[in-house]
């Protein structure tokens, strides 16, 4: 589903205002989870959970932050695994959906819910053992650079971090057949905001992403690409599929995601790292 700004296509290089971001995601909260019942949604989940699981602490008492976690698509399964999670998001509508789901699964006591902007987190330095920002909250933040600073700040020394962002080069490919001028500005890094896989927001190249986190005290241990959006739309939106087909496609995507020569061409970039 395209965000409001992508629908009317606004190429100006600015993020949205907080009130506008809240309004849009409140409106999208009702239907947001339906994506994860599609072939594309399940593939996205598979790729991200592979990276998340590699970063999970063995100690179930460890503190985990699900920043910009929306409807609890990450927080809920972590809680079911026995972890205590703090879920924060800018959208009250998204958090309301998360609360209802946690209540339904009797997991409310395992997840603390806080309405907060990831660019201004209400937690002390080094508070979390694992910090997650999945499904593009950094790219969609009203202040993406501040969001990176904040996510890094609240990660404890030796703690892990796993985030994903919209890809600059995928945005270039998406634009250059429609608007070569915008595509050229993007590839020259004269524009930093574009319509990415999650909507209008900050786009990064692998090099930019690594540099941004490294200068905030995060040792980057891996950057991977997500190539789900290269599948035909009809295939991505399918709600029925054969297990054999799913297994074949996940293997292809996993191999592509970890192939350094094509990482930057993914629609999303997934970063994992450790605070030093």
Tokens of 146: 């501040």
Give the residues of the chain that fall short of pLDDT 50.
none
Tokens of 65: 């932050």
Predicted model pTM: 0.93
Query: Under 8 Å CB-to-CB from 150, ≥6 apart: which residues?
Result: 118, 119, 120, 121
Instruction: Give 170-194 as a DSSP string.
Output: HHHHHHHTT-HHHHHHHHTTS--EE
Query: Are residues 148 and 213 in contact, defined by beta-carbon separation less than 8 angstroms?
Result: yes
- Predicted confidence at residue 7, as pLDDT, reads 56
- Predicted confidence at residue 2, as pLDDT, reads 53
**Domain layout of the chain by residue ranges:** 4-275
Rounded Cα distance between 8 and 2, Å, is: 10
> Torsions phi, psi of 111, nearest 5?
-130, 120
- Predicted confidence at residue 17, as pLDDT, reads 78
Task: Select 4-275's CATH number: 3.40.640.10, 1.10.490.10, 3.40.50.720, 3.40.50.150.
Answer: 3.40.50.150
Write down the H helix ranges in 67-190.
75-80, 92-104, 137-140, 144-153, 168-176, 180-187
> Torsions phi, psi of 232, nearest 5?
-60, 145
State pLDDT tens for residues 89-148.
999 999 999 999 999 999 999 999 999 999 999 999 999 999 999 999 999 999 999 999
- Predicted confidence at residue 43, as pLDDT, reads 97
Rounded Cα distance between 96 and 69, Å, is: 12
């Amino acid at each position: 589903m395209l965000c409001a700004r992508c629908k009317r296509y606004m190429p100006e290089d600015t993020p949205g205002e907080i009130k506008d971001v809240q309004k849009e995601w409140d409106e999208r909260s009702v239907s947001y989870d339906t994506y994860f019942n599609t072939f594309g949604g399940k593939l996205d989940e598979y790729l991200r959970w592979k990276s998340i699981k590699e970063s999970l602490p063995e100690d179930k008492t460890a503190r985990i932050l699900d920043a910009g976690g929306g409807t609890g698509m990450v927080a809920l399964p972590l809680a079911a695994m026995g972890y205590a999670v703090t879920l924060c998001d800018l959208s009250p509508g998204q958090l309301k959906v998360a609360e209802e789901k946690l209540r339904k699964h009797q997991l409310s006591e395992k997840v603390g819910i806080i309405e907060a902007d990831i660019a201004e987190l209400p937690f002390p330095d080094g508070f979390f053992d694992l910090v997650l920002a999945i499904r593009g909250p950094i790219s969609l933040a009203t202040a993406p650079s501040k969001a990176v600073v904040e996510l890094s700040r609240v990660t404890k020394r030796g703690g892990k971090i796993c985030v994903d962002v919209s890809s600059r080069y995928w945005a270039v490919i998406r634009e250059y057949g429609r608007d070569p001028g915008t595509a050229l500005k993007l590839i020259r890094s004269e524009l930093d905001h574009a319509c990415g896989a999650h909507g209008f927001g900050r786009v990064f190249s692998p090099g930019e992403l690594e540099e941004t986190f490294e200068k905030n005290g995060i040792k980057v241990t891996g950057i991977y690409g997500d190539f789900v959006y290269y599948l035909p739309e009809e295939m991505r939106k399918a709600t029925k599929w054969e297990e054999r087909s799913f297994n074949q496609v996940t293997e292809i995507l996993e191999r592509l995601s970890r192939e350094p020569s094509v990482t930057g061409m993914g629609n999303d970039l997934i970063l994992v790292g450790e605070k030093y």
